Structures are given as C-alpha cells and as structure tokens.
Amino acid sequence: MKEMIKKYRGSLICSVLVMLIGILVGFTSTQSMWANVFFVVTDCALVAIIFYDNRNRQQSRKIIGMTMWIIPIITLLYNGIARLVNMGADMENLFMAVIYYGTGLLFMVIGNYLPKVKQNNTIGIRVVWSLMDEENWNATHRFSGKLWMASGILCMLCGLFGESMAALVVYIISIMAAAIISILYSYLFYKKKLATGEGLKIQYNTKKSVIYLIIAISTIVFTIWTLFCGSIQVHCNDRDFNIEAKGWNDYTVEYSQIDSISYEENVLQNNNGYRTNGLGNLKYAMGNFKNDIFGDYIRYTHASCHSYVVMNIDGKILVVNGENDAETKEIYQRISEKVSKERK
C-alpha cells in the first residue's frame, strides 16, 4: 500500500485539493454539509481499496487515475450546483440536467477505459467468471466498453426531455441495463467456453450467489421505489381539512385557524428553497421546508404541478396543491368557502 501511495502521490494530492475546493465552494450551503461528509468518506474508502489490492500495481496509471478523480470531480460539480441554486438558479431544471448529462459523461469516460482495465479485484466487471478467466475478463470489458458508451449517450439524450417521466424511466433502465448485460455477457462467455471444452467449470457457492442476487435486485427495486413513493390527498370536512400523506405524517387544520388563504403560481420556483425535515422525491415534497419567501414552512405538494394553495395558519405557512392546476383550484375554492362560512 505504501508503494502505491508513493507511486500516485502527485495525483492523490491534486485530487484531494480539487475535493477541498469543491467543499469550499459549497461551504455556505447547509444542504451540502452531509453530502460532503459522504463524498469524503466514500473517496477515502475507494482509494484505500484500490491501493490495498496488490494486483493494481500492474494496473494502467490512467485507470487508477480515473478512479481516483471520480469522487473529487463529482464533489466539485455538486457543490458548484448548490452554490448556483443559492444564487437563484432554477433548481429543478439544473439538477435534472446535471444528473442526465453528468451521468452520461461519466458512463462514456468509464466505457472508454473499461477495455484497458487489467484483471483485478477492485475495478471493472468483477464477477466470478471474469475474475477466474483472463480471456473472459478481456472479452467482457471490450464488450462492456461499447455498452457503457452507448448507455452514456442515451443518458445525455434523456437530458433533452428533462421534465418527461418517460425520459427518466429510459435513463434508469439504461443505467441498469449497462450493469446487468455486462454481467450476463461474462456468464454467457463462460458457458460458451465450457460447452466447447475450452474452459474449466468454476466451482462457486450457489447459495451465496443467490443471496447476492436477491440483495442486488432488492436494492435496485427499493431505490426506484423511493423515487416515486408516496401520495397526497386533501379531504375537506365540516370544521377542518385533513391532508392524508403516505410517506410522511398526516396534517389536520381547523378552518378557524386559517388567517389567510391565496392561490399562487410558480411561487416555489427559483427561491433557494430546501427541505429541513421531510420527504422529497421525484413526485412529492412533504414536511418542513425553508426558502427566501416563507422562511420555515410546511409543504405537501406534487412535483407535477406548479400552482399552490398558500395558507397562513396561526403564523405558520402551509403550502399544498393537487396533481394539476384544476385540482389545485378545486382545493383552493373548497377551503376558501369553508373559511368564509366559519368567519360569518
């Protein structure tokens, strides 16, 4: 490990400096703090794993360098975006653009280098069939290089349709396909050599492999589920209305508590807002938020709609909406009528 540190000392110092610059760029952004902690821990772990594997001593300097620079560059980009958002940039469009184009660029770079990766236990398509057979390793990485390049291009094309849900689905599928098809190719290459008598049968723990497969599939399913989970329903009763939320706490307000109510459009765009405690994904935002307009406020909103019902409730701001403008207007009219009756 000491030999590897000495060999890559210059690149290691430069990458650490870039990461520090990124952290300093987003230093004033509250929401960047925990992300930066994650980046630092991940980078330290990744570098330690790479340097600990003795087989990486013969690895291409470009491959090791690329791996060392991934996290620092992501840190710099992330904090740069956080600073732009704090300066008034459109958070939603900026975030999605960076996700699509950033992932696409990363996959294209990885795809370019994959065919050059030598057999090791740390970097590349590390499955039992490629690790046990150098020919399988080389064939898998040549194929995967082209596949990951194509996946990167597809991710960038999805960026042209940033607000489309179909583009998001294609984006997720393209990423998953790049990994799954690469593994499948390695297995089929192994089976082909085994059928022709050129390869040796690999003895591996089937039970352990099934467990790993279940964990991998469960992780993918859970990740996708968290991007879309939740629901928001507003129910108006005689004396109060109730927000029924799946994914966060329900919320009930008596009409007599409402000091003012208004219908607003695009009020939550370009306001330097962020979540302080709650749920936020691609479809919903629920819980406690903070922005330049309302300060600390409570929010139960659909991402698909940019019109809102804004209420002042005993000095606290509550923002709700429906799935679309028509549903939001209906919520506003129903609550307004109830509030007017309560005041008479």
Backbone angles phi, psi at 277, to 5 degrees: -165, 110
Contact status, residue 58 vs residue 82, Cβ threshold 8 Å? no
Asked whether the beta carbons of 325 and 307 are under 8 A apart, the reply is yes
289 in Cβ contact with 276 (< 8 Å)? yes
Spatial distance between the Cα atoms of 4 and 51, rounded to a whole number of angstroms = 6
Q: Cα(194)–Cα(181) distance, rounded to whole angstroms?
A: 20
CA distance 310 to 294: 10
Q: 39 with 71: CB under 8 angstroms?
A: yes
**234 membership: H or E segment, kind and range:** strand 231-236
CA distance linking residue 119 with residue 111, whole number of Å: 16
Report the SS3 class of residue 290: strand
Grouping H, G, I as helix, E, B as strand and the rest as coil, residue 300 is strand
**Residue 14: is it exposed, middle or buried by C-beta count within 10 angstroms (0-12/13-18/19+)?**
middle
Distance between CA atoms of 33 and 26, rounded to whole angstroms? 8
Cα–Cα–Cα angle for 94, 98, 100, rounded to 5 degrees: 120
Which residues are paired to 87 by β-bridges?
Answer: none
> pLDDT tens digits for the chain (344 residues)?
677 777 777 778 888 888 888 788 766 555 567 778 888 898 888 888 777 765 655 666 777 777 788 888 888 777 777 766 565 555 556 667 777 888 888 888 888 888 888 888 778 888 888 888 889 999 999 999 999 989 988 888 887 776 667 788 888 889 989 989 999 999 999 888 888 877 667 766 667 777 877 887 888 788 777 777 889 999 999 999 999 999 889 999 999 999 999 999 988 876 667 788 888 787 899 999 988 889 999 999 998 899 999 999 988 999 999 999 999 999 999 999 999 988 76
Q: Which run of H or of E encompasses 342?
A: helix 325-343
Strand 231-236 to 240-246 pairing: antiparallel
pLDDT of residue 113: 83
Query: By CB neighbour count within 10 A (0-12 exposed, 13-18 middle, 19+ buried), where does 15 fall?
Result: buried
Residue among 47, 38, 40, 50 at smallest CA distance from 19: 40
User: What residues does 311 pair with on adjacent strands?
Assistant: 261, 318
Q: Can you tell me the distance from the alpha carbon of 53 to that of 298, in angstroms, rounded to the nearest whole number?
A: 49
Strand partners, 252: 242
Q: Which amino acid is at 92?
A: E
**Residues facing 3 on adjacent strands:** none
What gap in Å lies between CA 262 and CA 198, rounded to an integer? Answer: 75
Length of the chain: 344
- Using DSSP's 3-state secondary structure scheme, residue 129 falls into helix
Q: Quick one: pLDDT at residue 333?
A: 95
